[in-house]
Chain A
Amino acid sequence: MFNHTLKQAIVLIGLPLSLMANAHDMLPAKAQNQAILFTNATVHTVTDGVLADSDVLVADGKIVAVGQSLSSPSSQETPQSQADEAKPNDSSLNDHSALIANAEVVDARNKHLYPGLIALDTTMGLVEVEMMRPSNDAYEVGYINPQLEATAAFNPDSEIIPTVRVNGITHAQVVPQGDGLSGQSALLSMDSWTVEDALVESNKQFHLYWPHIRWLSTDADKRKEQQQDLKLRIDKVYQAFIDGQRYRLAAKAGKVTKVDLRWQALAPLYDGNAQLFIHAQSQKQIEEAIALSKHFGFKLVIVGGYDAWRVAGALTEINAKVIYNQTLTLPKRNDEPIDLAFKIPALLKQAQVPFALAFSSDWNSRNLPFAAGQTVAYGLTKEEALKSITLDAAKMLDINDMGAIAPGFKANIILATGDILDPMQAGIESIYIDGRKIDLNNRHQQLYQKYLKR
């Protein structure tokens, strides 16, 4: 093990030098115009386990084929055991020889291929320097703001983005923060000229920060006041959705005389074309979120989900999902097992609640793969850990062609020399988003290179 690591270190040192040539530009990569064939890789397909010595063919931003020795005509086929959902648009298992013949071949012997990682619940591109108010656009005041769109403020030139994607994060869900209904998030590519380039089409994603008491007072009277106030805030949430429903009814009947931005925005939620992401940690909050979703028939995704494993039955009953973002945190209650936060993904798995992992931050979201890695010593398998930040993360957004290396999936691919979930082994060499090989340079690399020369 140890010798292996040393070897890797040497490889890593080599990496930055190769980047020196194009140190300053960091241009978004051009659309894929030539097929790529990765050969002899260890492929972490996510949908079909880990395939040794396999090839992956990518064209037009999509994965075309996965299998052993794709270049030799006899064995151009994908494994038969794939799940159905894993091969949308998989129209052709036919001959790819034309593609292969013109493909750029990337020798991936002794290397690993992973699907690009999806960072859920981030403020990427909304925040540059958190403490500097002018550079912070993540939070809006007001309680009922479903009309707010994160995309309105996303900065694709944020210096943070290139530092995050080098760790394998190809896409991030960018979420507006608030105290109640905070607005709509979007899944964005981490390599683009503008937010419009970056946007991955999906159903609408509304966010609701479920009311809670931040610091329960030790004073009995104050505590009562807080609890009273909490009830009022919950009532307010219900009232908003009732008002939204009235508006929807009127709109359908063509009776709306004056636009209400809030309720107009909410329309897809009532029509079943959107998901409601409720940010909630405690059992009570989650149960309240479930009750609300049941009442209005919303599709529910819990974000946070610290206690979600305790209410697994109620969650699965309404097909709700959980984005767990507390892996690298302390136990929320002093008496809880010291490693509970690490174990919760395994508990969710055990309770059969569909879940994904997140590391909710801006700059710090680059530690997402290691948060996933952390769960392995506490009950998840490495494959499950990887799935929780790739395929399962995509599913949280109702997206079915991301997060796996399988035909038909978007060609978001990481090429690495080691285990990308473990910082002592990870060695990411290149990253492809929609088949485009992106620049791995970043602010850190630039400063590093500069001061190496001092």
Chain B
Amino acid sequence: MRKHIIKTPIALLSLLCSQALLANEQLSDNTPRLTALTHANLMLAPGELLTDATLLIENRKIKAIIKDNDIPKDAFEIDLSGHTIYSGFIDPFTEYAIDYEREAEDKSGPVYEIKRIGGNASNGAIHSQMQWFNYVYPDKEQAKKWIDNGFTSVQSSYLDGIFRGQGVTLSLADKKANDVIYNAQTSQFMAFNKGSSVQDYPQSLMGSMALIRQTFADAKWYNQNKNKSSGKAVEFNIALERLADAKKQNFIFETKNLNNQLRAAQLLNEYELSGSLIGNGREYARLIELKSSPFSLVLPLNYPAAPEITDGDSEREVSLASLRHWERAPSNLAMVEAAEIPFALTQYGIESDKFWPRLKLALTRGLSEDAALAALTTDAAEIAGIEHLAGKLEPGFMADLVITDGNIFDEGKIVSIWLQGEERQLINRDLELLDNTYQLQLNELSFDLNLTQSPSLTGTLSSGEDTIELANLEYQQGRLTFSADLSDAGFNGISRFTLWLDNQGLTGRLLDSNNQMHPFGGITLEPIKPVDKQEKTTQAALISRLTSPNVAYGLSERPAQDKVHLKNATIWTSDSSGILENSDLIISRGKIKKIGTALKTPSGYTIIDATGKHVTAGIIDEHSHIALNGGTNEGSDAITSEVRIGDVINPDDIAIYRGLAGGVTTAQILHGSANPIGGQAQIIQLKWGDNAQQLKFEGAPASIKFALGENVKQSNWGDDFTHRFPQSRIGVKSLFSEAFNEALAYRKAQADYNKMRSSERRRTVAPQYNYRLEAVAEVLEQTRNIHIHSYVQSEILMFLRLAEAYNFKVSTFTHILEGYKVADEMAKHGAHASTFSDWWAYKFEVYDAIPQNTCLMQDKGVLTSINSDDYEMQRRLNQEAAKSMMYCGMSAEDAWKMITINPAIQLGIQEQVGSLVEGKQADVVLWDNTPLSVYAKVDSTWIAGRRYFSREQDKALQTKVTQERAALIQKVLLSDDAHKQGETPMELTEPEWHCDTHFNAWQQSAKGAL
């Protein structure tokens, strides 16, 4: 006995009209809603397939899984033979159904403070108090772009600002807000981009990172102190209140590129927070780093469009990095899966109709179906905070379902979606009957009936070689009518057919030209199984190499620690032993093992004959702005000591490699000079290929950038910038005094509080931790070295005296072009100097700069170095040092010290590097000529005994780069349009940073690569 099969249009009708019916007909809807979806393949969870089973649904939820299809008698059955049921998909990163628009304030000129309203945060980019469920208003139109792809619920938030507020996870069902909210308070959403905030601060990436730190600290303090009775009053601050117990909250951090993704991970880790990182599609390039962080990923399917290659000229502008990414992007998911990093998928950033084609492309690149399904269901549910009610087919879970007519990751199409127990058919189920091939018997003849639905319904009857086209096809509810000329089969004229179709076969009648009726029957033919496509999931062969960093000249592997015997060289020790002719140097385990003449080669060591060549310590650049992202200045406030260059080191910068080729092994990456108290510096080693953390010089003392003169008083910033204090050198002094006083008072408050009895402390409001004042206090306590940008004698002297008044020593005056005028005073104070060899006249405060500055300062006892502050000059610092020989007769040995041991002393790393002394770190450069000569070229550069650069390897890399580019360009040119389409790649276009680069990271990236 055949079971009753639901007639879809009725179901659809009831769904659409239920509200109206309620109103017109009956006050309450008391229809029992127990539904059995029988004979289906149930994908219970990724990898758990149950075939020919029943999913029992009651009202909004799954009631049971029934393996033998023995369904309760009161259940309404829908036979889903040949269908697969998946748990509905979940997109954990959307802005769906948030009915809110932040008012854009119209401001011109810099904004230093925002309007305080309703207990908000003091920074305009912090909206942690927002709880977005308050603004949920379902939107049928918007929902469609998810539902059509099989999504049934999403996590949503208003995506603006750094702290964006608490998200909400909701169903995509077309119901009122109260019915769709699954989890009203999910994760706190975050980003680095300050979004619509009109406040100037933060205008750099490192500024955003500092603001996040301070906010977490403030929140902790606020919630510990808000109810205390004595001490300073605590302002009401709902933004901080809502960040209480951050460790118990979950964070979703959006970034737009890989470096920032890792930075977000770093930052969340610092506070031991949990959550997920929104991806960027380039995860494959830093899998080890990502894997070592505890965060899951939410990955978009943003494959880049093929680079534009129209002629040789445009081709040259395309980087190997972007060619590589074009080729590899579809493999990203497979590679993330292989690295065993949990991830979910999001439609964010792409058109929704691209979602499935992109995902299928990822499957051809080796993504497993189980991982894809987990990303759409279980893992996504966890990130969206609804793992207890969605993501699996399990009793008690929401009846959010995706029903397909086959494997969704293969040829299967989504035929319907169930949202909270209510079905929405994407393909009318009864139309599926038209997909069958039927055979009907007429007068001893058998005909195959073939129907095609798109673009319009057409069909043929065929028998053997003969095919008859059908006309006037009509179909509704299993009833098919058409007319056909069957004269050859013995029915003269045009015959008219009426057929009733079902899954088993058909019954029908033919009305011939004489109006005679001929009943007939027919059967459904078994579909011909498509031949399994061969090796569908084998990884498509990729041409591009994957290197670290993943750009041209990146390395396939970290250089090994060399055991080297450099023989018979001229060795410039930068030490008391001077310049040694015909000498040897042995490198072992990252250190200089031995220096001497005619040394024996220990066994297993490589000999490099350095006859006629020169060996020096690696060059150290006291002042550089290479290898950083998102702005070298936090040029908003006059004091920004809380920002850290160390947060924004960019290991992908080709400048690292170029510096190495010039013999540079260490550089201090400084904040710019846009404000008197700038940010914290980071000393790095130019270990090309290492990641951002590995580049940092281990054990180097803390340092900070201060600045004086034209830049800090905004002399050359334009007419908008005339209000920030200070605007004159007179004001600069006062600002420093104030900052120092504040820092002292801050320390005193901390000490006073710590001295209290614990009972008193419990009652008293604690001093608020302040990253900005911490750094200034460290300066006063001499645990953080100052490198102060300065030019003219008045300001140098002013600062020396100020430092003396506050009892601290200035480590290094940097630039210091008029240092020669006050060299005695500097020497007496014990300050160092790091200057340009010959720069002058580019602005007024350098009009008295002279190239003899180095000699004058050196002669008066000021330890002097030469810095570059420039990407290009950095690779020729040897020549810059030589200019002091030319302009003022400095000795070669002293000139060489100006770029090795002297800057090492200034950076406080002279125990490790800066000279060639046994036991020191093996930062060694081999030159083909006297290193101070314009004719000298670096042969090899070692850092800690690893050879990160050699001329020979560079030559090989040049060839590789050329070949790989050519191959990838051919691939682009040969690929079809489908493989060329994609999003315009968001490449980070950042300038070469200089001291005075004004860069608003968040304006540049409105559409944003940051």
Q: Is the CB of B934 within 8 A of A374?
A: yes
Among A159, A216, A335, max chain B CB count under 10 A is at A335
Bound CA–CA A422/B579 (angstroms)? 20
Which residues, 837 to 876 on B, are CB-close (under 8 Å) to A? Answer: 838-844, 847-848, 850-852, 856, 871-873, 876
Task: Find chain A residues with CB under 8 A from B930 CB.
Answer: 1-2, 5, 424
One digit per residue, 1 when the CB lies within 8 angstroms of any chain B CB and 0 when it does not, for chain A 309-348 equals 0000000000000000000111001110111000000000
Q: Is the CB of B850 within 8 A of A448?
A: yes
Question: Does B269 lie at the interface of the complex (its beta carbon under 8 Å from any beta carbon of A)?
Answer: no
Given known A-B contacts A338-B553, A447-B850, A216 and B821 have beta carbons under 8 A apart: no
29 contacts between A and B (CB under 8 A): A2-B579, A5-B892, A10-B889, A12-B885, A129-B842, A129-B847, A130-B841, A131-B842, A131-B844, A132-B844, A160-B841, A163-B840, A282-B313, A283-B312, A283-B316, A284-B311, A335-B961, A338-B658, A363-B840, A363-B842, A367-B838, A423-B885, A424-B885, A424-B934, A426-B886, A444-B840, A447-B820, A448-B888, A451-B820
What residue of chain A has the Cβ atom nearest to residue B657's Cβ?
A: A338
Task: Find chain A residues with CB under 8 A from B1009 CB.
Answer: 218
Among A1, A10, A335, A367, point to the contact of B319 (Cβ < 8 A). A335
Question: Does A425 lie at the interface of the complex (its beta carbon under 8 Å from any beta carbon of B)?
Answer: yes
* Number of interface residues, chain B, beta carbon within 8 A: 72
Question: Does B716 lie at the interface of the complex (its beta carbon under 8 Å from any beta carbon of A)?
Answer: yes
Question: Does B39 lie at the interface of the complex (its beta carbon under 8 Å from any beta carbon of A)?
Answer: no
Which residues, 203 to 228 on A, are CB-close (under 8 Å) to B? Answer: 215-216, 218-220
Bound CA–CA A335/B821 (angstroms)? 45
One digit per residue, 1 when the CB lies within 8 angstroms of any chain B CB and 0 when it does not, for chain A 389-430 equals 000000000000000000000000000000001111111000
Question: Does A6 lie at the interface of the complex (its beta carbon under 8 Å from any beta carbon of B)?
Answer: yes
Question: Does B932 lie at the interface of the complex (its beta carbon under 8 Å from any beta carbon of A)?
Answer: yes
Which residues, 9 to 32 on A, are CB-close (under 8 Å) to B? Answer: 9-13
Q: Which of the segments B59-67, B354-362, B979-987 contacts the partner chain?
A: B979-987
Question: Does B494 lie at the interface of the complex (its beta carbon under 8 Å from any beta carbon of A)?
Answer: no
Among B888, B933, B965, B992, point to the contact of A424 (Cβ < 8 A). B933
Task: Find chain B residues with CB under 8 A from A252 CB.
Answer: none
Bound CA–CA A423/B879 (angstroms)? 7
Question: Does A128 lie at the interface of the complex (its beta carbon under 8 Å from any beta carbon of B)?
Answer: yes
Among B852, B886, B958, B989, point to the contact of A448 (Cβ < 8 A). B852
Q: Is the CB of A5 within 8 A of B885?
A: yes
Question: Does A377 lie at the interface of the complex (its beta carbon under 8 Å from any beta carbon of B)?
Answer: yes
Q: How far is the CB of A24 from chain B (nearest CB, A)?
A: 16
Question: Does B766 lie at the interface of the complex (its beta carbon under 8 Å from any beta carbon of A)?
Answer: no
Question: Does B600 lie at the interface of the complex (its beta carbon under 8 Å from any beta carbon of A)?
Answer: no
Task: Find chain B residues with CB under 8 A from A129 CB.
Answer: 841-844, 847
Q: Is the CB of A444 within 8 A of B934?
A: no
Q: How far is the CB of A163 from chain B (nearest CB, A)?
A: 8
Task: Find chain B residues with CB under 8 A from A298 CB.
Answer: none
Bound CA–CA A1/B657 (angstroms)? 30
What residue of chain B has the Cβ atom nearest to residue A282's Cβ?
A: B313
Q: Is the CB of A452 within 8 A of B935?
A: no
Q: Is the CB of B882 within 8 A of A131?
A: no
Bound CA–CA A342/B196 (angstroms)? 45
Task: Find chain A residues with CB under 8 A from B928 CB.
Answer: 377
Q: Is the CB of A284 within 8 A of B313?
A: yes
Question: Does A355 lie at the interface of the complex (its beta carbon under 8 Å from any beta carbon of B)?
Answer: no
What residue of chain B has the Cβ atom nearest to residue A12's Cβ?
A: B889
Which residues, 583 to 612 on B, are CB-close (under 8 Å) to A? Answer: none
Q: Is the CB of B841 within 8 A of A333?
A: no
Bound CA–CA A2/B929 (angstroms)? 11
Q: Is the CB of A452 within 8 A of B984?
A: no
Question: Does A295 lie at the interface of the complex (its beta carbon under 8 Å from any beta carbon of B)?
Answer: no
Q: Is the CB of B821 within 8 A of A12?
A: no
What residue of chain B has the Cβ atom nearest to residue A427's Cβ?
A: B886
Question: Does A67 lie at the interface of the complex (its beta carbon under 8 Å from any beta carbon of B)?
Answer: no
What residue of chain B has the Cβ atom nearest to residue A372's Cβ?
A: B934
Q: Is the CB of B892 within 8 A of A2?
A: yes
Question: Does B644 lie at the interface of the complex (its beta carbon under 8 Å from any beta carbon of A)?
Answer: no
Q: Is the CB of A333 within 8 A of B844?
A: no
Question: Does A258 lie at the interface of the complex (its beta carbon under 8 Å from any beta carbon of B)?
Answer: no
Bound CA–CA A13/B852 (angstroms)? 11
Question: Does B198 lie at the interface of the complex (its beta carbon under 8 Å from any beta carbon of A)?
Answer: no
What residue of chain A has the Cβ atom nearest to residue B572's Cβ?
A: A2
Which residues, 299 to 313 on B, are CB-close (under 8 Å) to A? Answer: 311-313
Q: How far is the CB of B715 from chain A (nearest CB, A)?
A: 8
Question: Does B387 lie at the interface of the complex (its beta carbon under 8 Å from any beta carbon of A)?
Answer: no
Question: Does A255 lie at the interface of the complex (its beta carbon under 8 Å from any beta carbon of B)?
Answer: no
Q: Is the CB of A330 within 8 A of B871?
A: yes
Bound CA–CA A187/B552 (angstroms)? 42
Q: Is the CB of A362 within 8 A of B841?
A: yes
Inter-chain pairs besides A334-B551, A335-B319, A424-B886, 13 sampled, C-beta below 8 Å: A5-B885, A9-B891, A9-B892, A13-B888, A128-B841, A159-B847, A219-B984, A220-B984, A328-B876, A333-B319, A364-B839, A447-B820, A454-B821
Q: How far is the CB of B860 from chain A (nearest CB, A)?
A: 9
One digit per residue, 1 when the CB lies within 8 angstroms of any chain B CB and 0 when it does not, for chain A 132-163 equals 10000000000000000000000000011001
Task: Find chain A residues with CB under 8 A from B838 CB.
Answer: 366-367
Question: Does B743 lie at the interface of the complex (its beta carbon under 8 Å from any beta carbon of A)?
Answer: no
Which residues, 158 to 186 on A, are CB-close (under 8 Å) to B? Answer: 159-160, 163
Q: Is the CB of B886 within 8 A of A12?
A: yes
Among A2, A328, A338, max chain B CB count under 10 A is at A338
Interface residues on A, range: 35 or more
Bound CA–CA A454/B747 (angstroms)? 42
Bound CA–CA A363/B879 (angstroms)? 18
Q: Is the CB of B989 within 8 A of A215?
A: yes
Question: Does A305 lie at the interface of the complex (its beta carbon under 8 Å from any beta carbon of B)?
Answer: no
Among A132, A374, A423, A425, max chain B CB count under 10 A is at A423
Bound CA–CA A427/B888 (angstroms)? 11
Question: Does A37 lie at the interface of the complex (its beta carbon under 8 Å from any beta carbon of B)?
Answer: no
Q: How far is the CB of B490 from chain A (nearest CB, A)?
A: 64
Which residues, 184 to 243 on B, are CB-close (under 8 Å) to A? Answer: none
Task: Find chain A residues with CB under 8 A from B886 CB.
Answer: 12, 423-424, 426-427
Question: Does A376 lie at the interface of the complex (its beta carbon under 8 Å from any beta carbon of B)?
Answer: yes
Task: Find chain A residues with CB under 8 A from B989 CB.
Answer: 215, 218
Q: Is the CB of B848 within 8 A of A218?
A: no
One digit per residue, 1 when the CB lies within 8 angstroms of any chain B CB and 0 when it does not, for chain A 116-133 equals 000000000000111110
Please provide the 4 A-B residue pairs with the shortest distance between their CB atoms, ordered closest to farther.
Answer: A373-B934, A12-B889, A424-B882, A131-B843
Bound CA–CA A452/B888 (angstroms)? 11
Q: Is the CB of A423 within 8 A of B320?
A: no
Question: Does B380 lie at the interface of the complex (its beta carbon under 8 Å from any beta carbon of A)?
Answer: no
Question: Does A38 lie at the interface of the complex (its beta carbon under 8 Å from any beta carbon of B)?
Answer: no
What residue of chain A has the Cβ atom nearest to residue B850's Cβ?
A: A444
Among B889, B937, B992, point to the contact of A13 (Cβ < 8 A). B889
Among A5, A8, A282, A328, max chain B CB count under 10 A is at A5
Q: How far is the CB of A431 from chain B (nearest CB, A)?
A: 15
Among B820, B851, B935, B958, point to the contact of A373 (Cβ < 8 A). B935
Given known A-B contacts A328-B876, A447-B848, A283 and B313 have beta carbons under 8 A apart: yes
Bound CA–CA A454/B859 (angstroms)? 12
Q: Is the CB of B856 within 8 A of A448?
A: yes
Question: Does A370 lie at the interface of the complex (its beta carbon under 8 Å from any beta carbon of B)?
Answer: yes
Task: Find chain B residues with CB under 8 A from A335 CB.
Answer: 319-320, 552, 961, 965
Bound CA–CA A54/B576 (angstroms)? 43
Task: Find chain B residues with CB under 8 A from A131 CB.
Answer: 716, 842-844
What residue of chain A has the Cβ atom nearest to residue B579's Cβ?
A: A2
Q: How far is the CB of B313 from chain A (nearest CB, A)?
A: 4
Among A333, A339, A425, point to the contact of B317 (Cβ < 8 A). A333
Q: Is the CB of A363 within 8 A of B885?
A: no
Given known A-B contacts A421-B934, A424-B933, A334 and B654 have beta carbons under 8 A apart: yes
Bound CA–CA A131/B1007 (angstroms)? 32
Q: Is the CB of B856 within 8 A of A452?
A: yes
Task: Find chain B residues with CB under 8 A from A425 CB.
Answer: 933
Q: Is the CB of A370 within 8 A of B316?
A: no
Task: Find chain A residues with CB under 8 A from B579 CB.
Answer: 2
Task: Find chain A residues with CB under 8 A from B321 CB.
Answer: 334
Task: Find chain A residues with CB under 8 A from B851 CB.
Answer: 444
